[in-house]
């Protein structure tokens, strides 16, 4: 395996986001690259393709929130946002107030910026960039001081509404439920039935977790390390001979997975 190929595959591993809604496919592509000893293309360039079904969901969410802002009494019910209708999302926010309008604009800007569908739209995290909110300090502070009470890995936890909006990523596997939770919190519903899951927060709830446990264990077995759980014999065959280069990359990927889902995933 060439040094340049090793470096390219290593970059794919380092850039892997296991909270992404296509993370399982990304892992498959990395495993294929390790087995083949090279990769002709990564996965990053295709994430925001306008033809991907997820982009329709993101656009629908932005449309529904925009309609609510202008006072539409009945946002398009037919617009689907990950199983939630436009009417459901609008109802979750409740009656229009000045504070709610500001917070919803923050959500819209976050979605536009994070989806990369609106390259001219900027978003600055409310928790981190206080100086960016000098002209609307009161609204920013109220949002930071609004505390959502949920759970993290099954234990009681809290997260501010500002942090939840800051971490609202359209590409996240739990995006639609996260969005609904945020909108309900804007309306003052601060004890959600389902917790906020983004990045590493509540990673145990990620539906790919069990598969990633198997992948991580298989990578350990491939490198002749303790596996911990059942391994995927077919994946071992796909990986082929345990060369030094493959083992180095396999351990790098296993560490990445275990960082998110725990030791040996």
pLDDT in tens, 119-176: 999 999 999 999 999 999 999 999 999 999 999 999 999 999 999 999 999 999 999 9
Count Cβ neighbours within 10 Å for each residue of 153-173 and write b for 16 or more, e otherwise.
eeeeeebbbbbbbbbbbbbbb
* 120 and 59 within one domain: yes
* 129 and 63 within one domain: yes
Averaged pLDDT score across all residues of the chain = 91
Residue 70 has pLDDT above 80, yes or no: yes
User: Can you tell me the distance from the alpha carbon of 150 to that of 106, in angstroms, rounded to the nearest whole number?
Assistant: 22
* 170 and 195 within one domain: yes
Give 264's pLDDT tier (boundaries 50, 70, 90). low
Number of domains in the chain: 2
* 140 and 17 within one domain: no
What's the pLDDT score for residue 200? 85
What's the pLDDT score for residue 221? 93
* Lowest mean pLDDT, pick from 12-16, 53-57, 215-219: 53-57
* 239 and 156 within one domain: no
* 104 and 12 within one domain: no
* 62 and 29 within one domain: no
The percent of residues in the chain predicted with pLDDT above 90, rounded, is: 79
Residue 26 has pLDDT above 60, yes or no: yes
What's the pLDDT score for residue 74? 59
* 176 and 125 within one domain: yes
What is the end-to-end Cα distance of the chain in Å, rounded?
A: 27
Which of 157, 181, 204 is at the close of a domain? Answer: 204
Which structural domain, as residue segments, surrounds residue 61? 53-204
Which of 204, 225, 251 is at the close of a domain? Answer: 204
Could you tell me the two tokens for 129?
């960039």
* 173 and 108 within one domain: yes
Give 53's pLDDT tier (boundaries 50, 70, 90). confident
What's the pLDDT score for residue 40? 67
* 164 and 247 within one domain: no
**Which residues make beta-bridge pairs with 151?**
156
* 85 and 25 within one domain: no
Which of 204, 232, 247 is at the close of a domain? Answer: 204
Whole-model pTM?
Answer: 0.87
User: Can you tell me the distance from the alpha carbon of 100 to that of 93, in angstroms, rounded to the nearest whole number?
Assistant: 8
Residue 47 has pLDDT above 50, yes or no: no
Number of other residues whose CB lies within 10 A of the CB of residue 209: 16
Give 48's pLDDT tier (boundaries 50, 70, 90). very low
Q: Between these two residues, 112 and 227, which has the higher pLDDT value?
A: 112
* 182 and 58 within one domain: yes
């Amino acid at each position: 395996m060439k040094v340049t190929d090793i470096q390219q595959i290593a970059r794919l591993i380092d850039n892997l986001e296991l909270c992404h809604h296509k993370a399982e496919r990304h892992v498959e592509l990395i495993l294929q690259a390790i087995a083949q000893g090279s990769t002709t293309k990564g996965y990053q360039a295709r994430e925001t393709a306008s033809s991907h079904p997820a982009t329709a969901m993101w656009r629908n969410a932005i449309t529904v929130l925009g309609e609510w802002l202008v006072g539409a009494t009945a946002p398009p019910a037919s617009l689907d946002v990950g199983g939630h209708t436009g009417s459901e999302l609008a109802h979750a926010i409740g009656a229009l107030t000045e504070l709610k309008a500001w917070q919803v604009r923050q959500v819209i800007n976050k979605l536009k910026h994070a989806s990369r569908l609106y390259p001219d739209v900027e978003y600055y995290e409310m928790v981190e960039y206080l100086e960016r909110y000098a002209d609307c300090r009161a609204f920013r502070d109220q949002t930071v001081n609004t505390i959502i009470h949920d759970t993290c890995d099954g234990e009681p936890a809290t997260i501010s509404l500002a942090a939840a909006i800051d971490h609202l990523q359209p590409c996240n596997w739990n995006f639609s439920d996260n969005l609904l939770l945020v909108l309900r919190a804007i309306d003052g519903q601060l004890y959600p039935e389902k917790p906020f899951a983004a990045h590493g927060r509540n990673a145990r709830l990620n539906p790919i977790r069990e598969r990633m446990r198997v992948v991580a264990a298989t990578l350990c077995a491939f490198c002749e390390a303790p596996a911990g759980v059942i391994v995927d014999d077919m994946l071992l065959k796909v990986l082929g001979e345990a060369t030094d280069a493959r083992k180095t990359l396999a351990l790098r990927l296993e560490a990445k997975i275990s960082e998110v889902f725990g030791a040996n995933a």
